[in-house]
Each structure stands twice: as structure tokens, then as C-alpha cells.
Amino acid sequence: MLSEAVVVDGLTVAYERIVALEDVSFKVFRGSITAVVGPNGSGKSSLFKALVGQVKPRRGVIKILGLDVSDARGKIAYVPQREEVYWDYPLTVWDVVAMGRIRNVGYLRSVKKNDEKVLAALEKTGLKELMHRKISELSGGQQQRAFIARAIAQEAEIYLLDEPLTGIDAESEDRLFDILSEMRRIGKTVIMTTHDLSSTFEFFDNILLLRNRVIAFGSPEKVLTAENLASAYGSERVAMHLTDVGRVAGWR
């Protein structure tokens, strides 16, 4: 049976005077992968922040696995667009990835040095050789992968990845798509933002095209039309997208 993983209904998010999202509604099912697409400032990150309770919606309802946002804490793994962590901590890559296990291990216990989930997450993200490096001494792309590894180790139900492809190399990108396929296979739900659909749109079950409102939501073929892209990006950008995305999608 299909069951709903995330249901958003009439969501409006505003920062004082700036309205980031207006009347956004959509739902995604368990075991699906959704790409959130839209120009800069279209409210993609704001959507994620609302889903994890980092910003309070002005209006609207969010249900995560049937629960309110505050009750769904612990069921979501979230990798923000920019990590706002305190880099002075002398933590290794292993330490950070092991943090993902904090809830599963429980209070008054420490994560074992040979914890399989942690080692598997390091392996999948290609960080095993770097696990004893300090997190602050990694490159930007490596840091990004370490936080993705922490999310994997979390074994959450729902994964929210804000631009996970930005700043990582081609090999890591391939690895990430392998990880995502694996997650879909075992029934996890993934929602991620991306700016690059040209080669990957077929991978996704749903595309949410945003421009502070929902321009379109549904399967890639349904969403990626000239008309929709024009209303999301404005006419100048469209030409490029049409040749990139449209052609591959069989649209002309």
C-alpha cells in the first residue's frame, strides 16, 4: 500500500515582510524520491526549514508520517544547504558520522568504535580513508559528504537534502545516486533540491517546481514542460532549459 510520507497543505512561510512560500500544497509517498526545483530565492530551503521546524509556518498544515512537525523529530535526517556548525570542535569525521547514531544508541551509552552503521556510511560516501581527519580540515566537498554520511547513519525515515550535489565531484555524485536508489529500495523517502536536472530528471518520481508558489508538481514528464519552466524561471532562462531538459525529456 502507498502511504503518505509528507503532506503539505496550504503552507505559507514568511520572514517578516518577505514571503518565501505561499499556499504550497503537495504530498509525497513513502519510498519515493522527489526533486525540488526552482530559481534562487524560490523558497526551496525555506520549505525544508519548515519541514524540520526551523521556521514556523504563517499558515498551513504539515504532516510527516501522519505526525505534526514537532512530533516527527527524530524521524527526519536533514542536510542543510550550508552547515552552521561550530567548526572549532576538534572532532574527527568518524565523530561527526557517529553523531548520527545518537538516538539509536540511546542515553548513557557511547557509539562503539566498530559500529557497523557508522563504518558503512563512511564506506558509502568514500570517506573511510579520511575518518580520522578533523572535520574542519576537510575540503568543502568532503565536509558535505561527511554530513551526508551522518544522515545515512541516522537511519531516518525521511531524508531532506538541500542541494547535496552542489560542490561534490562526479564520482561522489554517482555514489550519492547509488545511495539514493538503495534508500528508495528499502522504502525511505527522499526530498532533495537541485539546480541540475539535465541528466538526472528521469531518476526522480516527482518534481516539485517552485517559484514561491507551486508552479507544478508531479512526474518529470508532466512537470518539465516549456510552459511550466517559463513560469518558474522567466523567459530568458527558459530557452536554455528547453534545450537541456526539454530535449532529453522528449519534448520539443
Partner 1 sequence: MAIAEFFLEPLTYRFMQSAFITSIAVGILASTLSVVIVLRGWALLGDAISHAVLPGLALAAVFNIPLTLGGALAGIISSFAIGVIEQKTRVRNDTAIGIVLTGAFALGLVAISKLRPTLDVFHILFGNVLAVSTYELQLTAAVAAAVLLFFGLFLKEIVAYTFDPVFASVAGLPSNLLHYILMVMISLAVIASLQTVGIILVVALLITPGATAQLLAKNLLQMFIISIAVGITSAIIGLYLSFYLAASSGGTIALTATAIFFAAFLAKRLTASAVSR
C-alpha cell read off for 222: 508532466
Instruction: Convert residues 165-204 into a mask of x (bound to partner 1 by CB under 8 A) and - (unbound).
Output: ----------------------------------------
Least distance from ligand ATP to the Cβ atom of residue 197, Å:
13
Stretch touching ligand ATP by CB under 6 A, among 3-11, 43-51, 152-160, 224-232: 43-51
Sign of CA dihedral 56, 14, 83, 64: positive
Least distance from ligand ATP to the Cβ atom of residue 16, Å:
7
Select 38 or 57, whichever has its Cβ closest to ligand ATP.
Answer: 38
Residue 7 CA, distance from chain mean position? 16
Contact 162, 138 (CB under 8 A): no
For 27-73, give the DSSP string: EEETT-EEEEE-STTSSHHHHHHHHTTSS--SEEEEEETTB-TTTTT
54 lies in the binding site for partner 1 (CB under 8 A): yes
Give the one entry of Mg ion, ligand ATP, partner 1, none that residue 60 binds, where binding means its C-beta sits below a cut-off of 5 to 8 angstroms depending on kind: none
Residue 49 CA, distance from chain mean position? 11
231 lies in the binding site for Mg ion (CB under 5 A): no
Q: Please give the Cα distance from 143 to 125 (Å, whole number).
A: 11
C-alpha cell read off for 250: 522528449
Binding positions for partner 1, rule: CB under 8 A = 52-54, 73-78, 80, 83-86, 88-92, 95, 99-100, 102-103, 107-108, 110-111, 150, 154
Binding residues for ligand ATP, rule: CB under 6 A, are 15, 18, 20, 38, 40-46, 81
